[in-house]
Amino acid sequence: MNAKRGKEREDFGRILFAVLITCKIFLLADAVESRKKAKQVADFYSGRSNQSREERESSPIIHLKKLNNWIKSVLIHLYVHKGDSVLDLACGKGGDLIKYDKANIGRYVGVDIAAGSIDDAMKRYNNRRQRLSFAAELFCGDCYEVDLERSIQGGFDVCSCQFALHYSWSTIERAERALDNVSRMLNPGGFFIGTMPDSNVIVQKLRAAQDLEFGNSVYNISFGEEHRTKRFPQATRFGIQYHFKLEDAVDCPEWLVFFPYFQSLAANYGLDLVLKLNFHDFVHKHIKDDHFIDLMRKLGALGDGSNGDTLSPDEWEAAYLYLVFVFKKRGEPGPRRQQNDRRRQWSMMKAEDIKKLVT
């Protein structure tokens, strides 16, 4: 009897061991796969060279790019204050550096996975003609994979993630790591501001499409056969990949971010929702403000109206694919701004000043 029980226990142990090993293999395979995808995204952005002014102006989505810049400028104007210290996650080529200079910030840290983009951000920062008023640090690495506290000293008033948070939704682990990093880097009362695709709009358009793809003259979105039902049950709310192509800007895999899940996950990390608006609603809301109309004119997003020089209907439809979000880190703000008043000044950066994130 005892021998039989002992044998049963042994068999059970063996089965449990086999199940655990299988799970581990699946998890490892998942991690390898998501790293491969992150590299694909990094290679795409790294390969995009800096454009000359003429090239930029002749882009088929020039007005959409200017509208995006206007939206980011308005967000920065609303949530970034003099002397603030700012963490720019997925900062790209440093396209927001001048916006932060206008906001008179005290400290800037930019992180991006694409080495080529970080290099361009350094060149933009070093540009002597537009010397910026703050000290900057740049890091290269995957900010949805590693613990940022191992490389960067926290205590930021604002964390910004523009057009990039959706790259963390390939797995729940990456999405959680992203939010954990944001939360731990921010001071209590600090703001997390960003822009990303609006999955509501994307799913609506997918369902209205005949097949698994839709778009217009400036963008195309396509889903794989596995999404033929066009239904996304609750259990599979991460890793829903589609391919996004935006003329002269994006051509890589992206992942749907279901906002209610994003909001509740963020709440688990002490980040409370302040604002969520589709780009169309954000534009309608802020275009009534004289200061922002003026900025829109200066940036030229709406062109001068002559010879069709304005945002095209297709660009406006592409803008509808995005939303703006703002979260606030729970807790009472401390005496943080005074510290930043004793700020360091601009100083030329060298390639060796770009640090790698500690993995």
Question: Taking CB under 6 A as the rule, does residue 218 contact ligand SAM?
Answer: no
Size of residue set near ligand SAM by CB under 6 A: 20
Considering only residues 167 through 196, tell me which ones interact with ligand SAM, judged by CB under 6 A: 167
From 117, 170, 171, 312, residue interacting with ligand SAM (rule: CB under 6 A): 117
Tell me if 125 contacts ligand SAM by CB under 6 A: no
Applying CB under 6 A, which part among 74-82, 84-92, 98-106, 344-352 lies near ligand SAM?
84-92
Which CB atom, from 64 or from 113, has the smaller least distance to ligand SAM? 113
Structure token pair of residue 346: 């601009």
Q: How far is the CB of 249 from ligand SAM (least distance, A)?
A: 7
Q: Considering only 9-17, 78-86, 140-148, 218-226, which stretch makes contact with ligand SAM by CB under 6 A?
A: 140-148
- Gap between the Cα atoms of 20 and 103, Å rounded: 52
Does 69 carry a binding-site annotation? yes
- Whichever of 62 and 113 has its CB closer to ligand SAM, that residue is 113
Q: Write down the least CB distance from residue 246 to ligand SAM, Å.
A: 9
Number of residue whose CB is nearest ligand SAM: 92
Question: For residue 326, what are the β-bridge partners?
Answer: 193, 275
β-bridge mates for residue 194, sequence order: 161, 325
Choose the binding region for ligand SAM from 28-36, 100-108, 113-121, 151-159 (rule: CB under 6 A): 113-121
Shortest separation between residue 166's beta carbon and ligand SAM, angstroms? 9
Q: Which listed residue (114, 132, 240, 326) binds ligand SAM by CB under 6 A?
A: 114
Work out whether 95 is an interface residue with ligand SAM (CB under 6 A): yes
* Range in contact with ligand SAM (rule: CB under 6 A) among 25-33, 112-120, 197-205, 310-318: 112-120
Nearest distance from C-beta of residue 287 to ligand SAM, angstroms: 20
Q: Which of 87, 103, 143, 221 binds ligand SAM (CB under 6 A)?
A: 143
Does 219 bind ligand SAM (CB under 6 A)? Our answer is no
Please report whether residue 162 would count as binding ligand SAM according to CB under 6 A. yes
Question: Rounded to whole angstroms, how far apart are CA atoms 336 and 214?
Answer: 47
Cβ proximity to ligand SAM: between 168 and 187 the closer is 168
- Please report, for residues 10, 276, 278, the alpha-carbon distance to residue 213 in angstroms, rounded to integers and kept in the order given: 53, 26, 21
Beta partners for residue 254, in sequence order: 242
Binding residues for S-adenosyl-L-methionine: 72, 90, 112, 142, 162, 167
Which residues sit at the interface with ligand SAM, rule CB under 6 A? 38, 41-42, 45, 90-92, 95, 111-114, 117, 142-144, 162-164, 167
Give the residue ranges of the annotated binding site for mRNA: 68-69
